[in-house]
Amino acid sequence: MEMNLADLFELVADEVPDATAMVAGDRRLTYRELDRRADRLAHHLAAAGVAPGDRVGVQLANGTEYVETMLACFKVRAVPVNVNYRYVTRELEYLYADAGLVGLVFHRRFGPAVIGALGALADRRVVLEVADGSPPVGAGLEYEVVLAASTEGRDLPARSAGDLYCVYTGGTTGMPKGVLWRHDDIFFAAMGGGDPFASGNHIARAEELAERVLRPGVTALAIPPFMHAAGHWLAFSTLFGGGTIVTTPAGGFDPVEVWRLVEAERANAVVVVGDAMARPLLDVLAADPDRYDLTSLMAVGSGGAVLSPSTKAQLADLLPGRIVADRFGSSETGQVGGEPPADDPFGPPRLRVDGRTTVLDADLVPVVPGSGVIGHLARGGHVPLGYLGDPTATAATFVEKDGTRWALPGDQATVAGDGTITVLGRGSLCINTGGEKVFPDEVEAALKGHPDVADALVVGLPDERFGQRVVALIQLRPGRGAGPEELRAHGHGLLTGYKVPRQFVFVDEIVRSPSGKADYPHARTVAEAHAARVGA
């Protein structure tokens, strides 16, 4: 099995050239049109000196240009690098230099930060500005002008399954790191290739992908930013199935616009990142449940953050009969999967021990099912090569034991007697209070079950007696007024006593990334400032 992402896309484009591939605002592209635009950009990159293995930054909001740039890079065997468009100049300088970028494609609205960071591109071969209504910044050529002047055709170098895909991940702490994958591995791990370890449940040869194309394909509404791995994987797994990717205007998140697009584009699937996106969508729907025609909608999926039980229950109430799919995954593992517990349809998703997924102890030995031992979630099979330019982090995260290579994404977990894996959360976020371990995910899910709570984050602060104490940042729903005692009583009804927050900090808004992921360093800073003010 030798899979190259550009080759695979071209196979699908040739199979369904007139099917709609992308819808972004007023622009609708068929597979033929998307392929030709990517070809034009690929020829420009090659003419500018972008060579196989070179890395090109993609600092764009969701739209056709993002996917076009990724495809163009793949076509010339270059490596597109996702750039967080919320980064300020200092952060961009770090990422540009760390990735060793030779080029950049960016929306003009991000120009002020880009201008100050371009000096970090030591070898600058191509810079393209994508018009978005903002003034030109003069950093590079205009994207559409370049495409119009370039040539079509697939007269480009032959590619291989070993060509590289890179995704930068900020994680929850530390500076961002680039995770390097072979095309072949990421296709099977996260982009629709299926499971080669389950007989008959995978694409065995490239040509088979075209044979499996659906007519019509699935229409998926992509809310997560393409600058995060979940956005990449949704886009390419949909395109590899002959489906249609719909993006929101300018890549923004407006819950009213999301439901309008579901109705207008007859979307079959909506993908969110946890409660941060799902709750505003449900609030809009609850306020006027008959406003939108959602008969086309078959599934709501969440990746990157797990939906709380209360949100799942509301989904079941407002969208009966739809599939609600929580999926575990990370930039270091690809999509791992997950199913709700058999006895709790709204509970957190569970994994199962199999040939690729297990829990390893400190000696990299699988923990005994039912032992209660907390170990490290591990994923084998198709895994990354490592972190770009960081052999130390690579050695710590991608380990080998008895001839098997494992990715350890940082989540801690236990294994029940029946082989069911319960993921507890990131070990780096675990709070040790009086010798007991508290994982923020569990406490946050409990707190968000209170009807007054719009969002919650949980961190640990130093405590003289217990080492650390549990502190919760709370964003209340508009017009609601639950206080600490009420929330504490709610927590005691769902959690063991030591897991219930000792302090509550009420904030106007919980800070999250554009993808909905929690900003724990910021949350800890806010909690520390509050503790200093009240003398705690």
- How far is 337 from 328, CA to CA, in rounded Å? 5
- In this prediction, residue 250 carries a pLDDT of 84
- Which residue(s) pair with 496 in the sheet? none
- Token pair of 64 as six digits: 């056709």
> Which CATH number fits the domain that encloses residue 434?
3.30.300.30
Q: Where are the beta strands (DSSP E) in 76-149?
A: 79-82, 101-107, 126-130, 141-142
Q: Residue 498 above 70 pLDDT?
A: yes
Structure tokens at 403: 């001839």
Q: What is the CATH number of the domain that holds 422?
A: 2.30.38.10
Where among 396, 427, 458 does a domain terminate?
427
Q: What integer pLDDT is reported at residue 96 of this predicted model?
A: 97
Choosing from 172, 195, 218, the residue where a domain stops is 195
* pLDDT confidence tier of residue 172, bands split at 50, 70 and 90: very low
**CA 522 vs CA 173, 175, 253, 384, 458: distances in Å:** 10, 14, 22, 29, 11
Q: Name the residue among 282, 269, 271 with its Cα closest to residue 311.
A: 282
Write down the H helix ranges in 437-480: 440-447
306 Cβ contact list (under 8 Å, min separation 6)? 274, 326, 328, 348, 349, 441, 445
Into how many domains does the chain fold? 3
Cα dihedral 379, 385, 388, 390 sign: positive
**Is 333 contained in some domain?**
no
pLDDT band at 410 (very low <50, low <70, confident <90, very high): confident
* 380-403 confidence digits (pLDDT tens): 999 999 999 999 999 999 999 988
Q: What is the chain's mean pLDDT, rounded?
A: 91
In angstroms and rounded to an integer, the radius of gyration of the C-alpha atoms of the chain is: 23
Question: Of all helices (H) and strands (E), which one includes residue 167?
Answer: strand 164-169
**Residues 459, 524 contacting (CB under 8 angstroms):** yes
Query: Which strands make up the sheet holding 299-303, listed edge to edge?
Result: 27-30, 20-24, 244-247, 219-222, 269-272, 299-303, 323-330, 334-337
In percent, the amount of the chain with pLDDT more than 70 equals: 97
Grade residue 195 by pLDDT with cuts at 50, 70 and 90.
Answer: confident
CB atoms within 10 A of CB 342: 10
pLDDT value of position 535: 73
Please state, in angstroms and rounded to a whole number, the distance separating the CA atoms of residues 536 and 461.
10
Range of lowest pLDDT (62-76, 299-313, 474-488): 299-313
Using DSSP, state whether 80 is helix, strand or coil: strand
The residues that bridge with 168 in the sheet, in sequence order, are 178
At which of 427, 450, 470 does a domain end? Answer: 427
Q: Is the dihedral of CA 185, 375, 272, 194 positive or negative?
A: positive
The mean pLDDT value for 286-302 works out to 94
The tokens describing 407, both together, are 């990715």
Asked if 421 and 357 count as a contact pair (C-beta separation under 8 A), the reply is: yes
Report the C-alpha dihedral over residues 155, 35, 251, 275, rounded to 10 degrees.
-110
Provide mean pLDDT across the span 319-325.
90
Q: Is residue 79 situated within a structural domain?
A: yes
Same domain? For 165 and 32 the reply is yes
List the CATH number of the domain containing 48.
3.40.50.980
Report CA-CA distances (Å) from 444 to 167, 307, 455, 483. Answer: 28, 11, 8, 16
Distance separating alpha carbons of residues 34 and 188, to the nearest angstrom: 23
HEC sequence for 237-299 = HHHCCCCEEEECHHHCCCHHHHHHHHHHHCCCEEEECHHHHHHHHHHHHHHCCCCCCCCCCCE
Average pLDDT over residues 350-374: 91
Residue 489 lies in a domain: yes
Please tell me whether residues 381 and 526 are part of one structural domain. Answer: no
* Domain identity same for 182 and 72: yes
Q: In terms of Cα–Cα distance, which of 511, 506, 516, 425 is closest to 471? A: 506
Candidates 429, 446, 448, 450; CA nearest to 438 is 429
Task: Classify residue 167: in a domain, yes or no.
Answer: yes
Residues 95 and 136 in one domain: yes
190 & 144 share domain: yes
Q: What is the mean pLDDT of residues 9-17?
A: 97
pLDDT band, residue 197 (cuts 50/70/90) = low
Higher pLDDT pick, 165 / 427 = 165
Residue 522 resides in a domain: yes
Tell whether the model's pLDDT for residue 199 goes beyond 60.
no
Q: Based on the domain organization, do 184 and 36 belong to the same domain?
A: yes
pLDDT at 428: 75
Domain shared by 383 and 529, yes or no? no
pLDDT digits (tens, 9 = 90+) for 452-483: 999 999 999 998 887 889 999 999 999 988 99
Supply φ then ψ for residue 264, to 5 degrees: -70, -35
Instruction: Please report which helix (H) or strand (E) contains residue 456, including its range.
Output: strand 453-463
Residues spanned by the domain of 525 = 430-534
414-424 pLDDT, tens digit each = 999 999 998 88
pLDDT tens track for 216-261: 999 999 998 999 898 999 999 999 999 999 999 888 889 999 999 9
Q: Do 33 and 130 belong to one domain?
A: yes
Cis peptide before 196 (omega within 30 of 0): no
For 99, the 3-state DSSP assignment is helix
In a domain, 411, yes or no: yes
* Domain shared by 377 and 524, yes or no: no
Amino acid identity for residue 185 in this structure: D
Q: Does pLDDT of 305 surpass 60?
A: yes
459 plus 415 within the same structural domain: no
21 pLDDT tier (thresholds 50, 70, 90): very high
Predicted local distance difference test score (pLDDT) of residue 337: 80
Q: In the chain, what percentage of residues exceed pLDDT 90?
A: 66
Band (pLDDT 50/70/90 cuts) for residue 2 is: confident
Residue 251 maps to a domain: no
Query: In this structure, are residues 517 and 273 in contact, taking their beta carbons and an 8 Å threshold?
Result: yes
Predicted confidence at residue 516, as pLDDT, reads 67
Distance CA 394, CA 373 (A): 25
Query: Do 445 and 405 share a structural domain?
Result: no
Contact 206, 8 (CB under 8 A): yes
Q: Report whether pLDDT(173) > 60.
A: no
- Strand-pairing partners, residue 436, are 433
How confident is residue 131, by pLDDT bands cut at 50, 70 and 90? very high
* Pair 25, 63: CB distance under 8 Å: yes
- Alpha-carbon distance 315 to 338, whole Å? 18
Bridging pattern class, strands 164-169 and 177-182? antiparallel
pLDDT, average across residues 262-268: 97
Range 266-282 average pLDDT: 90
Flag whether pLDDT at 174 surpasses 90: no
Lowest mean pLDDT among 139-153, 434-448, 451-465, 480-494: 434-448
**254 lies in some domain:** no
**Whether 406 and 453 share a structural domain:** no
